[in-house]
A and B are shown apart, each in its own frame.
Chain A
């Protein structure tokens, strides 16, 4: 773990008030991302990953209730909101819909620099062109003149990544950046992120439902379930010796990258709980094969260890 963190999240809680009571999307999540570090967040859909990202960026709707602290080192007062798009940037899941359909790529990219850097239009365009070249767009000048619908999904995601990097952010939040792409393009985009992280010395918070996506890039992995962190560990340690039963189940379900793709992929039995559900004990109890009476009664406390590992389980797998 790097010495000085760019992002510290403490006891973050996100609630959406609704008719049938508040929906708790994120519950008491704490984590930190060091300068230049890549941290992965893994969990099934509905585990609160996206809500967590939006909360970090200050992009939740005004009706959402947010508690806890998010401190971003690059911002005066620590509020990411003030420097979003500049020091902290985000790439979203679906490149098909994440670009404004009626604006040319050049216009959408250069406005970032015109706004944050007060660049002239011509200089902003030149910077945009250079950034498109860096993310591997074959004809960057031509791309600037294109509309989003004239590009392929992979190209659009590259454009979005390039757009997010224009101001040289210290932290990139990437929410499922490869999920909407086909497999070969996925690998290219991940490679690109890895290269850019080295070159730009920026931290990445890489969010995915897919352990395999996170595995190649993240030094540290945070596993989320039902809006909570259930386990965190250095990537190596997590893969070789998961302690939380949910992490173990995720690893068992992930297709082996090297081996043949199994005819029927193992899936976790049962459904992840909805965000509206409330728990007295461990949220994973209903699907856990190690659950006991105690698990259903009292919530497992988070236990932290010196090696940077922590998990919340009454009956963890042996180390």
Chain B
């Protein structure tokens, strides 16, 4: 927070634009720092991209190193990487021959992002709904059931859930395909999206429930009851908005996480997303691929952070945007 000045609340045009400008410009040094740290961290990890169980002949490795520029000093590699990056070029993949990282991400990201966005949207709507119902039935059966089920939904790992769902709905009931990907077929989305959305849905339900219980005890909700307003109005108009603030804060990491894909879900369901690239890239020392993924993830996280701050300011007029 370099220049702390009270910027007027959302809804007034000029300060909002200036605020956005501050935030977008402020993101550039952050991203640069992340790229720099990641670049050197992965280089200091032992072994390189061309080390195999059976060692390659020394001259082959030397040729490969020369071809990918690994024979140059590290700082030169770093500056040339940054130069390429400035032109939107993430460099060649070390492992996927004939593919640039830009191509890999451009092809895979839409798949992961689509699935992730749908999953988060469902998680948000469903989680808030479940959380509100549980809060209004605080201490009763519905509430206890919600808590119990949410623990299960958060705890069951996706490598158990997805195969189990596939077994039931695919192999037993023949309702849905177990794996495979045709972007135009909604049926292909169902199982992976279900698997992706359950944990955030459960988490959002718990967040909503907890904050809703608190808000329903607040003095202003008591005033609303004293005014004789119907429960519907009290919940939707007076209680929901403040209760959503913790959910909004959770949204930034959740969206960045879900939209960059899941290694497990995409591998099991055979989806051509980018979920596997980060882990695979790190294991293979595919330097450029890892960096590309880090950049995509951090950009998404930073952008969502901004969106969430705007969202919270819209939820609570007392909050002022400060750049």
Give the interface of A toward B (CB within 8 A).
57, 59, 63, 83-86, 89-90, 92, 94, 97-103, 111-112, 115-116, 147, 149, 160, 163-164
Contacts and interface: CB of A to CB of B under 8 A. Distances in A.
Contacts of A86: 228
B229 A102 contact: no
Chain B contact residues: helix, strand, loop or mixed: helix
Contacts of B226: 57, 59, 84-85, 89-90, 92, 164
Contacts of A85: 226-229
Contacts of A115: 227-230, 233
Interface string B222-247: 11111111100100011001100000
A126 B315 CA distance: 27
Contacts of A63: 139
Given A92-B219, A94-B219, A147-B317, A101 B242 contact: yes
Contacts of B214: none
Interface residues of B, number: 23
Given A111-B233, A115-B233, A101 B317 contact: yes
Contact of A103 (B219, B225, B228, B238): B238
A7 to B, nearest CB: 15
Given A85-B229, A92-B223, 20 more contacts: A59-B222, A59-B226, A85-B227, A85-B228, A89-B227, A97-B218, A97-B219, A97-B220, A98-B222, A98-B223, A100-B237, A101-B242, A101-B316, A101-B318, A103-B238, A111-B237, A112-B228, A147-B318, A160-B223, A164-B227
B227 A102 contact: no
B228 A102 contact: no
A100 B233 contact: no
Contact of A163 (B139, B225, B227, B238): B227
B247 to A, nearest CB: 15
Contacts of A112: 227-229
A108 to B, nearest CB: 8
Given A84-B228, A112-B227, A101 B220 contact: yes
A99 B238 CA distance: 10
A156 B218 CA distance: 17
A115 B224 CA distance: 12
B314 to A, nearest CB: 9
A115 B232 CA distance: 12
B20 to A, nearest CB: 22
Contacts of B229: 85, 111-112, 115
B228 A100 contact: no
Interface string B302-323: 0000000000000111100000
Interface in B122-175: 139
Interface of B: 139, 218-230, 233, 237-238, 241-242, 315-318
Contacts of B315: 102
B51 to A, nearest CB: 58
B139 to A, nearest CB: 8
Contacts of A97: 218-220
Nearest to A89: B226
26 contacts: A57-B226, A83-B228, A84-B226, A84-B227, A85-B227, A86-B228, A92-B222, A92-B223, A94-B219, A97-B220, A98-B219, A98-B220, A99-B220, A100-B220, A100-B237, A101-B317, A102-B316, A111-B233, A111-B237, A112-B229, A115-B229, A116-B228, A149-B317, A160-B223, A163-B227, A164-B226
Nearest to B317: A147
A103 B317 CA distance: 8
B317 A111 contact: no
Contacts of A163: 227
A164 B241 CA distance: 23
A103 B224 CA distance: 12
Contacts of A89: 226-227
A112 B230 CA distance: 11
A59 B220 CA distance: 13
Contact of B238 (A57, A59, A100, A149): A100
A102 B317 contact: yes
Contact of B318 (A94, A111, A149): A149
B248 to A, nearest CB: 13
A164 to B, nearest CB: 8
| CB-CB nearest 7 A-B residue pairs | A85-B228, A97-B219, A85-B227, A100-B220, A90-B226, A84-B228, A147-B317
A163 B221 CA distance: 14
Contacts of B242: 101-102
Which among A83, A89, A101, A116 has the highest number of chain B CB atoms within 10 Å? A101
A158 B169 CA distance: 61
Given A101-B318, A102-B317, A147-B317, A111 B219 contact: no
B312 to A, nearest CB: 11
B317 A100 contact: no
A100 B222 contact: no
